[in-house]
Structure 1
Amino acid sequence: MAITMTDAAASRVSDFLQKRGGGIGLRLGIKTSGCSGLAYVLEFVDELADDDQVFEIQGVRVVVDAKSMIYLDGTELDFVKEGLNEGFKFNNPNATDECGCGESFHV
């Protein structure tokens, strides 16, 4: 089981953590929401839970809880800039469908 991150995403997360002034890393998770059923969650991590898995990627720690890992295994986190828009993109091989707005997915 693994989570990966592109150079662009690792750089962006590292910048966020430095500006924040601390934290263990970035939590990547899922929640029930959106048009397609599941939505991605990104948040800072200050404490680890017992069921967390930690991935060290280019000096950045990505934390995933056991429930989310079922849906996120193999996911690559990317950071993209398209015109005036920029943001994180999830390349999830487990997603069978996504809503039109890209905010949620289905497995």
Structure 2
Amino acid sequence: MADHELTSRVQGSRDIELIALRERIAMAAAQGQALFGRPTDRPIAPYGCRHCGIPRDEHGQQWLAGVGVHGWEAPTDRQILRRMQIRRDLRRIRAARLEDQ
């Protein structure tokens, strides 16, 4: 298998995982469940910590399973983009809920 074919398959599976994650997040938000340990009424910080999503000015030292105690670390560009997409999706869900009321 050529490298570009393998890369294409890996990218395709990542896209599928991203779509599934966004759907789970949208469903949790629609049901008013907490996301990433935070209530859904609190916006997700695109520039929050790479590991836990907490904004830099609120972070300090945090503990997270699989990471342990950590200080704030800058998110990757991909994480920032995904978080912005999730925030957009949550805004749309909230707007739709308001229209239904």
User: Shared fold (TM-score greater than 0.5)?
Assistant: no
Looking at secondary structure, tell me which structure has more strand per residue: 1
Larger radius of gyration: 2
Larger RCO of the pair (alpha carbons < 8 Å, separation 6+):
1
Q: Which has the higher helix share?
A: 2
- TM-score between both structures, scaled by the size of structure 2: 0.28
| TM-score normalised by L of structure 1 | 0.27
